[in-house]
């Protein structure tokens, strides 16, 4: 029970007797302004404000006190004195109050930047709308004593009162409005697709939702929460009823949480009919950087991103973003095998590669490089002695002689104090990241965290294209693949037209996909592809390449039939809305731009989910409770 707040009335003019101890439900005047709306133009005007009362700031030289009053729009400073100050001082911090007063101009020397920095509100009366408990878990108005993220997650309704979070949520709404306007301007139709679908082997783990079985069901039946609207959006385009679809879609994947990943997340989802399938090769012209289809999707995505950055950041982005193929991106790491007279890796289809962190040129990254703990033999710090034999003594390069070692040192310009990271990988990139690629990211992230490196403030966008269409190098997808090929993107991605023959001839590893990722400052913010629109090709991929059995193919039957009914060539993209908002709001965690996020472990500490269901509830869905273990005798 709240303590009695003696001397505080539900409404009183300062200086009048006050008798009621707590706020009482009763009509009250409507506010005339928000706490971020007043300015010098309002000086002399009577106003009614409502908000949360923040800690008092007393003036020692004069008999006056200042109280900030905050709402979700901003902060206005209240100027109070005498009996009114005594009354306000008894109200707990973070209580909601209604203030009636007059706008006054601050002395010039006291004026501050900001919308309300030049004015105060002289308080005439105060009404307590709802007192805050004097022992709140934490005070969101105190930025200098912020509790742990776990505690703030348990009381998210208090955490959201912090200005930085409330501004992020408003910015998210603003960007969603920009997205909708931009896509409506380009004749896209917003369509909501089902969240409850059928489980299908598309890669990521799904969340299953039990449904009450019917009398004909012989086993429990479940929905799967949509990993993405992939099948519904493709069938919208196949229908011919929608030419350009979009949705700000909620998606669900049962994955381990990270700072940029949530089990439920939001993506800006697009799909378009009649997208291109690449350009014919002109032997008399240099090859274009974008050699795949889907130029129409690329143009829409770039226009959308340009509008967002112009409106939110005031930055004009280039008319076209640069393009890099996956092969070229992977080749940015140094291929040592090409510097050696013969292939010294075993087996011979591997290549030896390295990255060099140079003491002279990369000093900011050197401490981060040495702070990491790599597998044995993958990192060498060159000394005067090891410069002569570091490669010869590596188990990754058997048989390398002194001459070859010397040639590599000279070609790479290695110096004492440099770090060399070594790894072997398949000569043909297999999709996904590599050991050195992951090491390079870890070095950069650690250097940023240490403050040794400052990331560039300006945005650098990049398209990465021509990924391997199929892979055996994705550990997350191996759970479903069981040693078979899996799709690098998803099973609906089309091959490059030049590689169609290789697809049907069985050269699965050599087939490149019409898949494109959009990257911002090294972070993937979106990905998409041109889709397979030919039913025979799609069935061949399911049956012959991915080797799905009839049960695994069953969830795709409706898509295969839709493709048989005159489906147009189509393609799309999904942009990670949460990641984009985290970047725009300059925060490292997407949890700071989601109103009610989950923890890294996928738990919701506010609503206490997931939670156990009762035996009776499980029985209604045809499920049995987990058997309890027996205690030892």
Write down the pTM of the prediction. 0.86
Model pLDDT for residues 294-350, shown as the tens digit of each residue: 999 999 999 999 999 999 999 999 999 999 999 888 777 888 887 887 655 545 667
- In the prediction, which pLDDT does 9 show? 44
Could you tell me the CA-to-CA distances from 358 to 16, 299, 308, 419 in Å, in that order? Answer: 75, 39, 38, 6
Task: Indicate if the alpha-carbon torsion angle 83, 84, 89, 90 is positive or negative.
Answer: positive
Q: Of the candidates 374, 455, 364, 351, which has an alpha carbon nearest to the alpha carbon of residue 420?
A: 374
- In the prediction, which pLDDT does 215 show? 80
- In the prediction, which pLDDT does 586 show? 93
SS (H, E, C) 1-46: CCCCCCCCCCCEECCCCCCCCCCCCCCCCCCCCCCCCCCHHHCCCE
Close Cβ partners of 487 (under 8 Å, ≥ 6 residues apart): 203, 469, 470, 471, 477, 493, 541, 546
Alpha-carbon span 119 to 41, nearest angstrom: 10
Retrieve residue 513's tokens: 């996909």
Strands of 217-338, DSSP E: 221-225, 244-252, 264-273, 323-325, 334-335
- In the prediction, which pLDDT does 376 show? 67
* Stretches in the chain below the pLDDT threshold 50: 1-10, 17-21, 346, 630-633
Q: Exposed (0-12), middle (13-18) or buried (19+): which is 37, by Cβ within 10 Å?
A: middle
Alpha-carbon span 137 to 129, nearest angstrom: 21
Alpha-carbon span 534 to 177, nearest angstrom: 36
Retrieve residue 14's tokens: 């300062």
The most distant pair of C-alpha atoms in the chain lies apart, rounded to whole Å, by 98
- In the prediction, which pLDDT does 606 show? 94
- In the prediction, which pLDDT does 259 show? 67
Residue 330, phi then psi, degrees to nearest 5 = -70, -30
Could you tell me the CA-to-CA distances from 546 to 165, 227, 428, 500, 570 in Å, in that order? Answer: 45, 20, 19, 16, 22
- In the prediction, which pLDDT does 344 show? 54
Alpha-carbon span 320 to 331, nearest angstrom: 23
């Amino acid at each position: 029970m709240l303590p009695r707040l003696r001397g505080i009335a539900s409404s009183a003019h300062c200086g009048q007797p006050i008798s009621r101890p707590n706020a009482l439900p009763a009509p009250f005047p409507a506010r005339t302004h928000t706490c971020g709306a007043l300015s010098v133009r309002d000086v002399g005007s009577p106003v009614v404000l409502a908000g949360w009362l923040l800690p008092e700031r007393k003036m020692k030289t004069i008999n006056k006190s200042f109280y900030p009053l905050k709402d979700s729009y901003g902060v206005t400073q209240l100027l109070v004195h005498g009996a009114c100050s005594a009354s306000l001082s008894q109200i707990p911090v973070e209580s909601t109050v209604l203030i009636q007063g007059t706008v006054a101009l601050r002395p010039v020397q006291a004026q501050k930047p900001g919308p309300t920095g030049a004015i105060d509100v002289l308080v005439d009366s105060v009404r307590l709308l709802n007192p805050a408990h004097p022992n709140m878990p934490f005070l969101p108005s105190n930025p200098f004593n912020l509790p742990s993220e776990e505690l703030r997650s348990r009381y998210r309704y208090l955490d959201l009162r912090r200005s930085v979070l409330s501004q992020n949520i408003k910015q998210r709404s603003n960007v969603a409005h920009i997205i909708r306007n931009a896509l409506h301007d380009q004749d896209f139709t917003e369509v909501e697709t089902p969240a409850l679908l059928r489980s299908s082997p598309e890669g990521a783990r799904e969340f299953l939702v039990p449904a009450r079985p019917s009398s004909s069901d012989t086993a429990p039946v479940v929905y799967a929460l949509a990993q993405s609207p992939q099948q519904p959006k493709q069938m919208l385009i196949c229908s011919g009823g929608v030419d350009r679809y979009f949705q700000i879609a909620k998606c669900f994947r049962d994955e381990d949480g990270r700072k940029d990943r949530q089990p439920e997340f939001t993506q800006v989802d697009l799909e378009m009919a009649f997208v291109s399938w690449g350009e014919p090769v002109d032997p008399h012209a240099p090859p274009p950087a974008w050699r795949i289809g889907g130029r129409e999707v690329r143009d829409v995505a770039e226009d959308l991103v340009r509008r967002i950055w112009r409106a939110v950041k005031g930055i004009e982005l280039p008319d076209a973003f640069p393009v890099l193929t996956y092969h070229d991106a992977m080749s940015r790491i140094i291929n040592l095998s090409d510097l050696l007279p013969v292939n010294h890796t075993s087996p011979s289809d591997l290549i030896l590669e390295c990255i060099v962190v140079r003491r002279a040129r990369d000093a900011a990254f050197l401490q981060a490089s040495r702070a990491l703990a790599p597998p044995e033999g993958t990192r060498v710090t060159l000394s005067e002695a090891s410069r002569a034999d570091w490669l010869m003594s590596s188990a990754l390069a058997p048989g390398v002689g002194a001459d070859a070692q010397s040639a590599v040192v000279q070609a790479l310009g290695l110096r004492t104090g440099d770090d060399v990271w070594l790894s072997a990988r398949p000569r043909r990139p297999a999709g996904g990241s590599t050991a050195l690629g992951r090491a390079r990211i870890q070095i950069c992230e650690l250097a940023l965290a240490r403050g040794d490196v400052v990331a560039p403030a300006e945005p650098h966008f990049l398209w990465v294209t021509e990924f391997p269409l199929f892979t055996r190098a994705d550990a997350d997808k191996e759970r479903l693949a069981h040693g078979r090929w899996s799709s690098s993107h998803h099973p609906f991605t089309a091959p490059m037209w030049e590689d169609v023959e290789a697809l049907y001839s069985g050269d699965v590893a050599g087939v490149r996909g019409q898949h494109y990722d959009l990257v911002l400052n090294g972070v993937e913010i979106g990905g998409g592809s041109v889709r397979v629109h030919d039913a025979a090709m799609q069935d061949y991929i399911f049956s012959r390449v991915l080797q799905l059995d009839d049960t695994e193919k069953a969830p795709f039957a409706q898509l295969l039939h839709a493709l048989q009914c005159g489906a147009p060539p189509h393609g799309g993209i999904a942009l990670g809305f949460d990641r984009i908002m985290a970047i725009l709001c300059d925060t490292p965690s997407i949890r700071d731009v989601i109103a009610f996020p989950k923890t890294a472990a996928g738990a919701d500490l506010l609503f206490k989910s997931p939670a156990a269901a009762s035996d009776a509830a499980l029985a209604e869905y045809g499920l049995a409770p987990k058997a309890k273990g027996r205690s030892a005798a």
